[in-house]
Amino acid sequence: MGIKEKIKEIKESDNFWAGLLRDFIFMLMVFTIFSSVSYIALGRFSPMVAVESVSMVPHLKVGDIIFIESANRTEIITYGEGMKTGYSSFEYYGNVILYKRKGSEELPPVIHRAMYYVDKGDPMWPGGPEAPFAGYITKGDNNKTNALYDQQGSISYLQPVKKEWVIGVARFRPIPLLGCVSLIVKGNFACFNT
């Protein structure tokens, strides 16, 4: 029996295992197509991330799924630049970025707004200490939980976000609550606390 006949037999079979194989192949094709299209469009095979905390409320909420465009495919517009030009994303000036906390692959990435860019030796905020290296000063949009810049608190204490730490820029409208599934699987029950 040739390969064409075998494919035809599996395709037309009522056998449970043949049906399972068809479903698996279909899902593999959907995943491959989705990954390929997202890589072409956004520069990432896995372009979606779930918001894990309330730090970006009211613009992004816990459990929102957001799409991330690869950092090497776009220019990051800071809050300061956005104020001057009128550019906004997620209802506020500048871009929301996803970055590796302290450049670490082990720590969960952070989704916060790029407020402005500093060069080495510049004050990190008005009256603040000098930046040890160039990078972005970031902050969550929620002024109740994130009154200070990330570099003033424990998120990225005294460390601007280096360009190479930026994973990407948030794009499009968030998909509400869909990310709660992945958060619950990780043991994060923040979706139930909001």
DSSP 74-98: SPPPPHHHHHHHT-EETTEEB-EEE
> Whole-prediction pTM value?
0.79
My answer on whether 34 and 127 are in the same domain is no
pLDDT at residue 18 in the model: 76
pLDDT at residue 38 in the model: 62
Residue 12 forms part of a structural domain: yes
CATH number, domain at 100? 2.10.109.10
Which residue in the block uniquely carries the two structure tokens 């006949």? 5
pLDDT at residue 39 in the model: 64
Closest CA to 138 of 182, 74, 76: 76
pLDDT at residue 101 in the model: 93
For residue 175, the one-letter residue type is I
Domain tally for the chain?
A: 2
Q: Within 10 A of 34 (CB to CB), how many other CB atoms are there?
A: 13
89, 76 Cβ separation under 8 angstroms: no
pLDDT at residue 144 in the model: 94
Residue 92 forms part of a structural domain: yes
Residue 192 forms part of a structural domain: no
Residue 194 forms part of a structural domain: no
Domain span at residue 68 reads: 48-187
Residue 56 forms part of a structural domain: yes
pLDDT at residue 34 in the model: 73
My answer on whether 54 and 121 are in the same domain is yes
Lookup: tokens for 142: 């929620």
My answer on whether 182 and 144 are in the same domain is yes
Mind listing the pLDDT tens digit of every residue in the chain (194 residues)? Answer: 678 887 777 777 788 887 787 888 888 888 777 767 666 666 666 778 999 999 999 999 999 999 999 988 899 999 999 999 999 999 999 999 999 998 998 998 999 999 999 999 999 999 999 999 999 999 999 999 999 999 999 899 999 999 999 999 999 899 998 888 878 888 877 787 76
Query: Is 142 in a helix, a strand, or coil?
Result: coil
